[in-house]
Structure 1
């Protein structure tokens, strides 16, 4: 089997910067290796997706050094902003772009046009790429994230332990969540926010000020990035995952919660409704609200906290959805199919 060269953002294994994209990339590299692919990783440091001239030049040099006809899987955080570098080697290399989050700009359009194939990480992302760009449908594949099996969380009778797993940044909607929680202070609840705090320091500072202004400091915990056993413990202690993102292509934390039978309250945006899914006969294993709407989020929180019957129904649906989730082997198999088609193209 041909060597697969995988070009990855430089922070892929940085424990201070966990993200869905980095987690996905690491899992597929591991999975492809286990499936028999000779995988050679190339980590490219830089401020992706806003690289400096020197970082662009380093990437161009990396591509130039790869052998003719090499199969190259390149993360979209890098690929989507370097159309000139990709175009320079489009005839010589078999370039496969892995797109987590579409940028919707001419730069990405030119970059993806230079690729032999494109892999999207959700059906929603594929639909967006085909709608925005002149890409042949047969060249755009889907490999949605998998999820690891996990023990079901027990849940508490009151449902008061709320969990948010996301980098504390504007697009993840923590500010919306804090405003919503300020409207339900007459109910019992606590919130743990697990995620990096360094992505947008000014936003984190403003969020801290709002938490203090609403006197929520004893109920809202900004825990920073959690991984491994610490993250597993946070899920095990949670009653409800709250994911108020302003934009999301899939939402791996949603399926990670569902793998533990934990219901989800999320924004009805991007690929989140698909990740949440449905079960019969109980319907969605959670609640969806408009993005950026603290009043709607507060109303949904009240429903969850006030209605034991609703909590039980959503928990039952989450346990049902748990049984339907795909594992990472399925993800690897779909990427393998796309890579083999790129080799045969």
Structure 2
């Protein structure tokens, strides 16, 4: 099967890493006969040049072709998809519903939600990256079925933990949706008397003010630098207010690092359990700094808890999903035979 893939223009931009871009790039590299069309633009609200480029790209695709469109590109422009919906098999891959982006005013969120609803009803198939996200998209947009192709994770070496558990790591773009402000507040205001250090790896989209020198915002890290950050972490912390899946959760678990995260979207799916049913980390409510501080205190002061979660993380490491499995699932969906 020949697959056409319509992607954001910045998919390979190292200065702007994202889970959606990494998912697209990794899966497409494992599929045969893919024609990629990367469209530059300020998605999901593009200017005239980007809109024209997307329309032309779709118009040039042969009739009856299967076209996988990243939701960031396609979900905000139903009027561009509509002329091509009858002659192309459009598959929308939604990494995050557009209106779930934190910081939108209610009117903007409503407008994006309405446009996304139009777009998904033009598609032959809609795909999400977690069951929780699929359920949300179905409910939000009155769909009967949304397919699921969860992300995989690359194998990685085990991290050697420091007994105290003091080395904390958060890998995510610094935005309100990712909740770094909650983590900074919990550490420097509620847990200042405890022994800890926290590294933040992620593009500084909206920097968080801080005073404690043990908080280190290092910007986006790649390759060996990111591997080094994981290799010097005892606990991975993801305090997101919204999250479709949380690929960084499985990246931490692939190294045997326990995870403290908010129970939002697909994060509980990503965290999963060890074969004996033990959770390899702690889940807390979103936007709840007292709960975050309490969980961090339990970790930093509880040797037995650290030992239990480390054992569970190492066991969970053996059952994590693979990228070839993701590619196989997405291929079956694109071929019209979801498994």
TM-score by length of 2: 0.93
Aligned to 1:125: 133
Counterparts of 1:98 and 1:269 in 2: how far apart (Å)? Answer: 20
Q: Are residue 114 (structure 1) and residue 114 (structure 2) matched?
A: no
Counterparts of 1:184 and 1:342 in 2: how far apart (Å)? Answer: 51
* CA RMSD after TM alignment: 1.4
Counterparts of 1:281 and 1:25 in 2: how far apart (Å)? Answer: 33
Counterparts of 1:125 and 1:289 in 2: how far apart (Å)? Answer: 19
The equivalent position to 2:305 in structure 1, one of 302, 306, 310, is 310
Q: Deviations over 1:223-247 (max 9, x none)?
A: 1111111111110110000000000
When structure 1 is superposed on structure 2, of 179-188 and 280-289 the one drifting more is: 280-289
8 Å contact kept, 1:116–1:342: no
Q: Please state how far the C-alpha of 1:281 moved relative to its aligned partner.
A: 3.4
The equivalent position to 1:193 in structure 2, one of 200, 211, 231, is 200
Unaligned runs of 5+ in 1: none
Aligned to 2:291: 296
Q: Please state how far the C-alpha of 1:136 moved relative to its aligned partner.
A: 2.9
Aligned to 1:166: 172
Aligned to 2:187: 181
Aligned to 2:105: none
Aligned to 1:16: 15
Aligned to 1:38: 33
Aligned to 2:161: 155
Unaligned runs of 5+ in 2: 100-112
Q: Please state how far the C-alpha of 1:87 moved relative to its aligned partner.
A: 1.3
Counterparts of 2:238 and 2:154 in 1: how far apart (Å)? Answer: 20
SS in 1 for 2:335: helix
Aligned to 2:281: 286
Q: Are residue 85 (structure 1) and residue 80 (structure 2) matched?
A: yes
In the TM superposition, what are the counterparts of 1:218-257 in structure 2 within 5 Å? 218-257=213-252
Aligned to 2:317: 322
Q: Please state how far the C-alpha of 1:280 moved relative to its aligned partner.
A: 4.2
8 Å contact kept, 1:83–1:108: yes
Aligned to 1:260: 255
8 Å contact kept, 1:193–1:221: yes
Number of aligned positions between the proteins: 324
Aligned to 2:109: none
SS in 2 for 1:113: helix
Counterparts of 1:261 and 1:60 in 2: how far apart (Å)? Answer: 46
8 Å contact kept, 2:44–2:77: no
Q: Please state how far the C-alpha of 1:120 moved relative to its aligned partner.
A: 0.9
Aligned to 1:333: 328
Aligned to 2:6: 7
